Amino acid sequence: MDAISADYATCEALLRRDDPDRWLASLFVPEPARPHVHALFAFSLEIARVRELVSEPLLGEIRFQWWRDALEAPDKGEAQANPVASALLDTVARFGLPSEPLLGLIEARLFDLYDEPMESIDALEAYAKATSSCLFRLATLVIDPVHAVHGLGAADHAGIAYAVTGLLRALPWHRARGQTYVPLESLRARGGSPDDLVSESATPAVHATLADLRALVRSHLETFAARLPCVPDESRPAYLAASLCEAYLRQMEKRSYDPFSTFVALPQWRRQWILWRAARRWR
């Protein structure tokens, strides 16, 4: 195995271990494009987990700057020692991908390093577009570079739905580290306050706000479904991860669900079945 193939293999191994939903969805991507999709998703994973790896925000910002430098000056060679960076830069070069969405993802993830609250739905959707929708767009350009431009309008909605679902699932972890992605304007509209997000148990205002966020996800899923016919058949595997959202939302609507302590998950066989059904339905 040559060096670049080993780098791509590292990306897949990272995804399989730490982001299994995207990894499972990638199994439906045509094999020639699959390693490059892995590289994009592994980059996102590396950026997303910086908060967990550093002891203070400044150290996180230094890591982010390293990635910016790698994207803005790929010919300098320092990034080649990092297998994810190496595979990402190779993918960007092979497919002529724009670096702006990748830089925008890093910029949006600065929010993760600090404990400032998410202020509004608009801010949440902008964060989701920058961190998730961009990945659907770039994966589409990798899978079907000739026709992808005709269906890119679906990416915003798939990305927002997928990202917000993930943030709802991660609420117990975020609460434990004193961080919230629940928009304060939504919580206040339901008669709540930021204190509700650190209470021992979820208040009625929190439950109502989370129901509103699930409705937001479903609204974006409906818009995505309406736009899917405009997406070329060859590009559709790029969006398969979004098909998992509804099953996770239903888990959150069970009587036993506690947003601060329930870890929302699905067995692998069920995720594979959902993805397989969506892949058949979207043909």
Residues 98 and 163 reside in one and the same domain: no
For residue range 233-279, what is the model confidence (pLDDT) as tens digits?
899 999 999 999 999 999 999 999 999 999 999 999 999 999 999 99
pLDDT at 3: 87
pLDDT at position 4 over 70: yes
Distance CA 107, CA 65 (A): 10
Residues 72 and 167 reside in one and the same domain: no
pLDDT at 150: 65
Residues 109 and 120 reside in one and the same domain: no
Residues 207 and 155 reside in one and the same domain: yes
Q: Which is more confident, 75 or 186?
A: 186
For residue range 83-93, what is the model confidence (pLDDT) as tens digits?
999 999 999 99
pLDDT at 177: 86
- Min mean pLDDT across 46-60, 62-76, 164-178 is at 62-76
Domain boundary residue among 82, 113, 144? 113
Residues 128 and 256 reside in one and the same domain: yes
Confidence of residue 201 (pLDDT cuts 50, 70, 90): confident
Q: Which is more confident, 175 or 146?
A: 175
Q: Which helix (H) or strand (E) holds 163?
A: helix 153-169
Distance CA 209, CA 34 (A): 38
Instruction: Output the domain CATH number for residue 225.
Output: 1.10.600.10
**Number of folded domains in the chain?**
2
Both structure tokens of 44: 């996102």
Mean pLDDT of all residues in 46-66: 95
pLDDT at 151: 66
Residues 159 and 283 reside in one and the same domain: yes
Residues 128 and 106 reside in one and the same domain: no
Report helix, strand and coil shares of the chain as percent, to nearest 5: 75, 0, 25
Q: Do residues 130 and 107 make contact, with C-beta atoms less than 8 angstroms apart?
A: yes
Torsion angle in degrees (nearest 10) through CA of 170, 175, 179, 182: 70
Instruction: Report which of 208, 210, 180, 177 is spatially closest to residue 195, judged by C-alpha positions.
Output: 180
Residues 168 and 101 reside in one and the same domain: no
For the chain, percent of residues with pLDDT exceeding 70:
98
Domain boundary residue among 72, 98, 113? 113
pLDDT at 244: 98
Could you give the angle at the alpha carbon of 64 between the alpha carbons of 58 and 69, nearest 5°? 125
pLDDT at 64: 97
- Min mean pLDDT across 52-56, 98-102, 174-178 is at 174-178
Residues 154 and 245 reside in one and the same domain: yes
Mean pLDDT of all residues in 206-210: 96
Residues 132 and 225 reside in one and the same domain: yes
Residues 98 and 121 reside in one and the same domain: no
Confidence of residue 198 (pLDDT cuts 50, 70, 90): confident
Q: Do residues 247 and 266 make contact, with C-beta atoms less than 8 angstroms apart?
A: yes
Domain boundary residue among 113, 135, 169? 113
pLDDT at 200: 77
pLDDT at 263: 93
φ, ψ dihedrals at 94, nearest 5°: -65, -35
Query: How far apart, in Å, are the Cα atoms of 51 and each of 46, 82, 103, 255?
Result: 10, 19, 17, 32
Query: How far apart, in Å, are the Cα atoms of 174 and each of 10, 39, 60, 188, 220?
Result: 28, 26, 17, 19, 23
Mean pLDDT of all residues in 92-97: 95
pLDDT at position 146 over 80: no
Distance CA 206, CA 171 (A): 12
Confidence of residue 76 (pLDDT cuts 50, 70, 90): low
Coil/strand/helix, residue 240:
helix
Residues 13 and 70 reside in one and the same domain: yes
Q: Residue 277 is part of which domain span?
A: 115-283
Confidence of residue 142 (pLDDT cuts 50, 70, 90): very high
Coil/strand/helix, residue 99:
coil
Q: Do residues 188 and 121 make contact, with C-beta atoms less than 8 angstroms apart?
A: no
